[in-house]
Structure 1
Amino acid sequence: MRLRNKPGAKETILNHPEYILTDASDWRGQWQKRFEKTQPIHIEVGSGKGQFIVEMAKANPEINYIGIELQTNAIISILEKQLEEKLPNLQLLLVNGADLTDYFADSEVDLVYLNFSDPWPKTRHEKRRLTYHTFLKTYETIAKPKAELHFKTDNQGLFEYSLASVTWYGMTLKRVWLDLHHSDYEGNIMTEYEEKFSQKGQPIYRLEAVFHEKDKA
């Protein structure tokens, strides 16, 4: 989805380093210091306008959340929400999700969310999919042993690809939903895309997968 340019977005971001960073390399391994309390860290790669990450932070004060987004015109919407809410357990990061090992230390993250990622349907763009094996390797590096990956999409092709990708990578599938909104799953918090697609009657797919215990050197 193409987003409109928001006048002054870059300036607003630079004026609020207490909530958002454009380069977090200095905070690698130190993320807990940016939160009010030391708690499990959950990250969302590709947070869009932030409805999911903001509502998750409000609903789960015992967890620290980091929303990661590459587009300035998207993350500014999350920052605007945070400036209103001032949630002590929410931080934002304006960076490329492919470079997460530059900003997070090994085993620093407890859970990774991927919500309605770009499907990149053409085969030549496979490496850009956020469940491609190089991305999974990145998540595994920054995640704690046996950390989980939670993934939601409306795109059946991407979901089938992701099921295969996490399995081939060696992850353990914990749970799978082929029609989330008509299941017994409780506590679902929707993204903006999820609301849009579900209103059209499209099924929402979801999976939870677990990284294996890391080898001890």
Structure 2
Amino acid sequence: MRLRNKPWAKDFMAQHPDVLILDEERPKVDWQQEFGNEHPIHIEVGTGKGQFIIGMALANPEINYIGIELFDNVIVSALEKVIEMDKPKNLRLLRANGANLTELFQEGQVDRVYLNFSDPWPKTRHAKRRLTHESFLQRYETVLRKNGEIHFKTDNRKLFEYSLTSMSAYKMKLQFVSLDLHADMPEDNIMTEYEEKFSAKGMPIYRLEAQFCE
């Protein structure tokens, strides 16, 4: 996907350090101090334009949410939405590379990881870039608390099948698997921008929940 250049993005982002944190400025933030409480922390790796993470934060004020996104031209759209929602106190955006999770969070600091409509990287030689590759699972396990969870949604069946295999090989416990999430829509499901787009076209949405085991 080609990203539209937004030359004003950096200046706009710099004006809202209470919401958006730049990785190079504040590595390994003390998140309990940042939020001012000890509530559970849920992160979304690849938060895009922020619809999902904002919806989750508004629906669950007792949980702290962090949306992680690498590209300025994308995360600035999420920032605009957060501002429109009067900056929920339990939500932060983090401009960072999800591959650097162990540099951004302390061990056992996170309670849940969300992966929504990640780039499928369909070519075999690019498998290590998939966010459900073993190398990424190792990073999630490091930053997650004991028995932490991954919740994953995608429209890409091959990526979903790959992810099921990868997590099973990693000895994770598959707690929930759906091959058509919207066929029996859970009441608490918060849709992403992509999810709305694909489901409107009649495409199935695949979802799983998996837990790391000792």
Do these two structures clear the TM 0.5 threshold for a shared fold by scoring above it?
A: yes
Q: Deviations over 1:128-181 (max 9, x none)?
A: 000000000000000000011000000000000000000001110001000000
Is the alpha carbon distance of 1:73 and 1:29 closer, same or farther for their aligned partners in structure 2, counting shifts above 3 Å? closer
Where do residues 131-150 of structure 1 align in structure 2 (5 Å cutoff)?
Answer: 131-150=132-151
2:204 counterpart SS class: coil
2:44–2:67: 8 Å Cα contact kept in structure 1? yes
Q: CA deviation at 1:14?
A: 1.7
Tell me how far apart the structure 2 counterparts of residues 171 and 29 of structure 1 sit (CA, whole Å).
28
Measured on the aligned residues, the alpha-carbon RMSD in Å equals 1.3
Give the match for residue 18 of structure 1: 18
Q: Does 1:55 align with 2:47?
A: no
Where do residues 192-211 of structure 1 align in structure 2 (5 Å cutoff)?
Answer: 192-211=193-212
Which 5+ residue runs of structure 1 have no aligned equivalent? none
1:7 counterpart SS class: coil
Give the match for residue 38 of structure 1: 38
Which 5+ residue runs of structure 2 have no aligned equivalent? none
Give the match for residue 106 of structure 1: 107
* TM-score, scaled to structure 1: 0.94
Q: CA deviation at 1:108?
A: 0.0
- Opposite residue 200 of structure 1, the aligned amino acid is K
Where do residues 171-186 of structure 1 align in structure 2 (5 Å cutoff)?
Answer: 171-183=172-184, 185-186=186-187
2:27–2:103: 8 Å Cα contact kept in structure 1? no
* TM-score, scaled to structure 2: 0.96
Is the alpha carbon distance of 1:22 and 1:69 closer, same or farther for their aligned partners in structure 2, counting shifts above 3 Å? same
1:206 counterpart SS class: strand
1:209 counterpart SS class: strand
Q: How many residues are paired up?
A: 213
Tell me how far apart the structure 1 counterparts of residues 57 and 63 of structure 2 sit (CA, whole Å).
7
2:187 counterpart SS class: coil
2:12 counterpart SS class: helix
Give the match for residue 82 of structure 1: 82
Q: CA deviation at 1:4?
A: 1.7
The worse-fitting range, judged by mean Cα deviation, of 179-188 and 53-62 is 179-188
The worse-fitting range, judged by mean Cα deviation, of 89-98 and 12-21 is 12-21
Q: CA deviation at 1:29?
A: 5.9
Q: CA deviation at 1:26?
A: 4.2
The worse-fitting range, judged by mean Cα deviation, of 59-68 and 182-191 is 182-191
Give the match for residue 8 of structure 2: 8
- Opposite residue 187 of structure 1, the aligned amino acid is D
Tell me how far apart the structure 2 counterparts of residues 164 and 199 of structure 1 sit (CA, whole Å).
28
Give the match for residue 152 of structure 2: 151
Tell me how far apart the structure 1 counterparts of residues 26 and 82 of structure 2 sit (CA, whole Å).
22
Give the match for residue 121 of structure 1: 122
The worse-fitting range, judged by mean Cα deviation, of 158-167 and 75-84 is 75-84
